[in-house]
Structure 1
Amino acid sequence: MKIVITGCAGFIGSNLTEYFLNKGYQIVGLDNFATGHLKNIQHLMANANFEFFEGDIRDLDTCHKVCVGADYVLHQAALGSVPRSLKDPLTSNEVNVNGFLNMLWAAKEAGVKRFVYAASSSTYGDSESLPKVEEVIGKPLSPYAITKYVNELYAQIFGKAYGIETVGLRYFNVFGRKQDPNGAYAAVIPKFVMQFMKYESPVVNGDGNYSRDFTYIDNVIQMNELAMLSENPEVVNSVFNTAFGERTTLNDMIHILKEELSKKDAKIANVDIVYGPTRAGDIPHSLASIDKAKTILRYQPEFSLKQGLAEAVNWYWENLK
């Protein structure tokens, strides 16, 4: 079977590409290297089952080209980051909405069986209810959140109007190997890992008591595979939280991170933490209910935060130290 993976050189996309190639699938990858890196997929280029296109999802012809003959699409390409979207909402909208629509249309035209896409926990917006359940959302708190919610609306309409099967996966704070620690919009865990390894004090936005449902990459890979292959009709044209299902404060996460890194270098235990102002558009607390995914998809997350951090620290230590 042929799978199109957009954003295949990015953090999540490259992990999905490697996983499905190892399982013998034919993979067509698309990336424009806006946030992805060639090094993430360089070792896969010699695989006869991997065909790579350098291109942009904002170009409809490119989207049509990669979807020819595809059975499934795993759509990961997007401009992430709440702060990025607040600074430049126009580009975030072009990529995350127009680009998404291009891919959805191309997939429909190509007769793709199922379109699985990266949705976001940011869709819950100002809803204060915990844990987050798929059917209860609030108002978006950032342009990024709006774009990801619009993705869900388009997917639902395409499912009803054109019959294409869609499945949205609302990712909750995904972390793990290949996640970029550099750049202005780097995710907190790889950024902090790199700073600790350099004995630099990481800066926490706020007092560290905001909490997140940190989700290791292998749990996300499992969800993509289940969403793509499940024959349960309840899966079709639905959205699922993609998380571990536990809430951890930033302070507790940092404590575990320092503990794991200190096993590699005892001096890291002495690095101080700096606290700064809270960040605009941030949701104070995030916790997913994964009951729907467990019931309908038979999802069983394998990695807790602590287990995932141990794996991630090993990868960063071996590859970036």
Structure 2
Amino acid sequence: MKNKNILITGGLGFIGSHIADELIDNNKITIVDNLSTGALKNLKNPEHENLKIVIEDLSNANLDELLKDIDYIFHLAAMASVPLSVDDPVGCTENNVNATIKLLESAVKNDVKKIIFSSSSAVYGENLNMPLKESELPMPTSPYAASKASCELYLQSFYDSYGLNYTALRYFNVFGPKQDKNSQYAAVIPNFISALLEGRQPVIYGDGEQTRDFIFVKDIVQANIKACESDYNGIVNVASGKKLSVNRLYEIIKETLGSDVEAEYLPERAGDIKHSLADVSNLEKINFKSDSDNFEEQLKETINWFKTVL
């Protein structure tokens, strides 16, 4: 992708900053971020000549001004915490659903070519039909998951009503450099790594036999770009298509770090799902395949990054 005008909402966050870093040399990038979870330090070069940063909440931003001459939108801004959404469902709806509707309306007005929406595997809830296909009915078990499912429906409706092209990417368990271990809903991999590097006992919620489908953040970046370049309108799982238990994950991280610290087991958290595994056949519709065979190397890269910041 070259010589495009691109808006990245939540572009200072974990995934958004990776997308910005990948695209910035060959495109004009505008980032809008309210710094709730993002940070300028996540960008390789926040002073890049191709970059404009707007520190503002998406709900309050002048979207028509922001979207003037924008070709593509990568929409990642959201309240991304399940526990926080349970505590504040109205705030979650305002941040995730209402702000998205305003963004879509402005995108139509400004003739945006396509919007790539960061959705979540959380929309599947406790669906037991593994591997999970995009055709399954959403079964959200948290306001966060319900907000993502709602946004997917609005994207479909704006495509049908106004011709606004979109792809909704349902991320499974994303990991990689720049992930915030202190976030409200920090993922299990940074929690394990940071605890062991800091000499603390990691926590596993539940019995640890819950399984997840892990995907490296650099794969997420390429999936976003491929989706943007594709003609596909619809929903796509972005995952490895492989399952790994939390207990086994912890063993791998322990072995990699040469640690013998055992984890502390605590009760399950409200809204968490037991098993998650994606059907990834739809990835071919955006001409993408994940680099899932190199999981342990990706994990080492992630661990090495955490060593530099802890």
Shorter-chain TM-score: which interval? over 0.9
User: Which residue in 1 is equivalent to 2:290?
Assistant: 301
8 A contact 1:126–1:138 mirrored in 2: no
Q: Output one character per residue of 1:231-264: Cα deviation in whole Å (capped at 9) or x when no partner.
A: 4xxx12x0000111100000111111122222xx
Q: Are 2:19 and 1:16 aligned?
A: yes
User: Which residue in 1 is equivalent to 2:48?
Assistant: 47
1:60-99 paired onto structure 2 within 5 Å: 61-99=61-99
Q: Alignment partner of 1:44: what SS?
A: coil
- CA–CA separation in structure 2 for the residues paired with 1:105 and 1:307: 42
CA drift at 1:196: 0.6
8 A contact 2:83–2:184 mirrored in 1: no
8 A contact 1:132–1:289 mirrored in 2: yes
8 A contact 2:123–2:145 mirrored in 1: yes
- CA–CA separation in structure 1 for the residues paired with 2:262 and 2:244: 20
CA drift at 1:90: 1.4
1:1-321 paired onto structure 2 within 5 Å: 1-22=4-25, 24-41=26-43, 43-59=44-60, 61-231=61-231, 235-236=232-233, 238-262=234-258, 269-294=259-284, 296-303=285-292, 304-318=294-308, 320-321=309-310
Unmatched tracts of structure 2, length 5 or more: none
- CA–CA separation in structure 2 for the residues paired with 1:172 and 1:51: 30
8 A contact 1:55–1:62 mirrored in 2: no
- CA–CA separation in structure 2 for the residues paired with 1:121 and 1:227: 17
CA drift at 1:141: 0.5
User: What one-letter code is carried by the residue in structure 1 that aligns with 2:76?
Assistant: Q
CA drift at 1:35: 1.1
- CA–CA separation in structure 1 for the residues paired with 2:184 and 2:71: 36
Give me the TM-score of the superposition, normalised by structure 1.
Answer: 0.92
8 A contact 1:141–1:281 mirrored in 2: yes
How many residues align structurally? 306
Moved more, 186-195 or 90-99: 186-195
Q: Alignment partner of 1:170: what SS?
A: strand
Moved more, 61-70 or 168-177: 61-70
- CA–CA separation in structure 2 for the residues paired with 1:271 and 1:177: 23
8 A contact 1:30–1:53 mirrored in 2: yes
- CA–CA separation in structure 1 for the residues paired with 2:290 and 2:183: 30
User: Which residue in 2 is equivalent to 1:266?
Assistant: none
8 A contact 2:40–2:46 mirrored in 1: no
CA RMSD of aligned residues (A): 1.2
User: What one-letter code is carried by the residue in structure 2 that aligns with 1:250?
Assistant: V
Q: Output one character per residue of 1:168-190: Cα deviation in whole Å (capped at 9) or x when no partner.
A: 00010111111101144222211
Q: Output one character per residue of 1:141-192: Cα deviation in whole Å (capped at 9) or x when no partner.
A: 0111100000000000000000110110001011111110114422221122
User: What one-letter code is carried by the residue in structure 1 that aligns with 2:215?
Assistant: T
User: What one-letter code is carried by the residue in structure 1 that aligns with 2:239?
Assistant: A
- CA–CA separation in structure 1 for the residues paired with 2:87 and 2:268: 16
8 A contact 1:82–1:143 mirrored in 2: yes
Q: After TM superposition, what 4+ stretches of structure 1 lie above 6 angstroms from structure 2?
A: none
Taking every aligned residue pair, what percent have the same amino acid on both sides?
37
CA drift at 1:230: 1.4
